[in-house]
Amino acid sequence: MGIAKRNSKVAFYGVTTKSGVVYHRMSGFTEFSTAKNPIEYSRQYVDEETEFTDVVGYSPSVSYEFDLFTENPVHLDIADIADNERVGAEAVRTIILVDMESSTHTAVKRDFAVIPDSEGSSMEAYTYSGNFKVKGEKVFGTASTNDDWQTCTFTE
Amino acid sequence: MNFIGIMRDFIKKFDGFGGKYVGIGQLNSRKNCVYIRDFGKTEVMRYYVDGTKILKRRFAAEFETGAGLGSESELETAELCEAFAEWLEEQSRIGNLPQFYGKPAIGVYLSDVEVTMHKGTQKHTLICNVEYMKGR
C-alpha cells in the first residue's frame, strides 16, 4: 500500500476553439482543492433528547490559484472571465479530473461556474485565484491522450 | 542536447563577447575564450498540483582579462558585465530563451560576478540562474 501522490489526479479544462472544445491540462496551478460543502438537515424531534442530522445534498466547489503563464490557454481563458467580468453561461466551463494511476485512466467530467476572486496578490508571479462551483452532474468515463497528457479526450 | 550545451548555444548569441570562442568546461588560461560551466545543482522553486515544477539551475560564463592593465580595462569589463546582465534581462522580457523539455525557459538572469586573480590574469565569473519548467 502506497501513499497517493497529489499529481496522480490531474485536471483538464475545456477551452472552446473554432474546431470545438479542447481539454487542456491545468498546469501552473498552485491550488486546486475540492470542498464537498455538504448540505445538512438538522432537527430535534419533540420526543427525542438529541438532534438528528442528515445530509440532503452537496454543493461542491474547487478553490484554485495559478501563476499566469501568458501562453497557457487555460490561464488565458480564466483570466478573460475575470478581466471581462463574464456572467452566466459565458462563465461556465467543463473540467475533467483524470486518475493517472488507474490503468484505464478513469475520469470524471463536470461543468463548473468560474467564480473569480482575486488577482495580483503575489510578488513572485501574477496570480489569479477563485473558485469553480458545480453547475452540473458528474459524468463518469475514461480519458485518453495523443500528446503525453497535454490535452485529453473524454469517453463516457 | 544537455543543459550546458543548451546554455552554451544561448550565450553564443550575446554580441558583447565579440569574437571570443564560447566553449564548455573550466577556464584554463585561454585568452579570447568564454567558457560556460554548470554548477550541477538544481533547485525546485515551485511545485504545481499537476506534478509540473519550476526548476532553477545555476551556471557560469567565465573569461579572463590581463591583470594590472589599469582602470580603462576595468571599466571595459564592468561595462561588459552590465551589458551581459541587460542582454539576459531583455531576452527574458521578449521570451527569446532556450527551450527545456519542449518549452522556453521562464527567465535567465545574472546573479553574481566574481573576480579572482590567477597567474597575472583576472578570471571573471558571471554567475547566472536559469528558471525553467519541467513537466510530468
Supply the DSSP string of A15-29, one letter for each residue: EEETTEEEEEE--SE
For chain A, which residues score pLDDT lower than 70? 1
Residue B136's pLDDT band, with cuts at 50, 70 and 90, is low
Q: Using the beta-carbon criterion (under 8 Å), do A7 and B46 form an inter-chain contact?
A: no
Give the pLDDT score at B30: 66
CA–CA separation, B41 vs B43, rounded Å? 7
Q: Is pLDDT at B19 greater than 80 in this prediction? A: no
To the nearest 10°, the Cα dihedral for B56, B61, B62, B68? -110
* Whether the Cβ atoms of residue A59 and residue A43 lie closer than 8 Å to each other: no
Q: Using the beta-carbon criterion (under 8 Å), do B52 and A28 form an inter-chain contact?
A: yes
- Mean pLDDT to the nearest integer, B100-108: 90
**pTM of structure:** 0.81
Q: What is the ipTM of this complex?
A: 0.81
- Mean pLDDT to the nearest integer, B80-89: 90
To the nearest 10°, the Cα dihedral for A59, A60, A65, A68? -90
User: B136 or A54: which carries more pLDDT confidence?
Assistant: A54
CA–CA separation, B24 vs B4, rounded Å? 7
Residue-averaged pLDDT of chain B: 85
The string over B93-109, giving b where at least 16 C-beta atoms fall within 10 Å of a residue's C-beta and e elsewhere, is eeeebbebeebebbbbe
Residues of chain A with C-beta less than 8 angstroms from the C-beta of B50: 7, 10-11, 25-27, 29
Q: Is pLDDT at B67 greater than 70 in this prediction? A: no
Q: Using the beta-carbon criterion (under 8 Å), do A27 and B46 form an inter-chain contact?
A: no
CA–CA separation, A111 vs A94, rounded Å? 4
Count of CB pairs separated by less than 8 Å, A with B: 33
Q: Using the beta-carbon criterion (under 8 Å), do A28 and B51 form an inter-chain contact?
A: no
The string over A129-147, giving b where at least 16 C-beta atoms fall within 10 Å of a residue's C-beta and e elsewhere, is bbbbbbeeeeeebbbeeee
Closest residue of A to B54, CA-based? A28
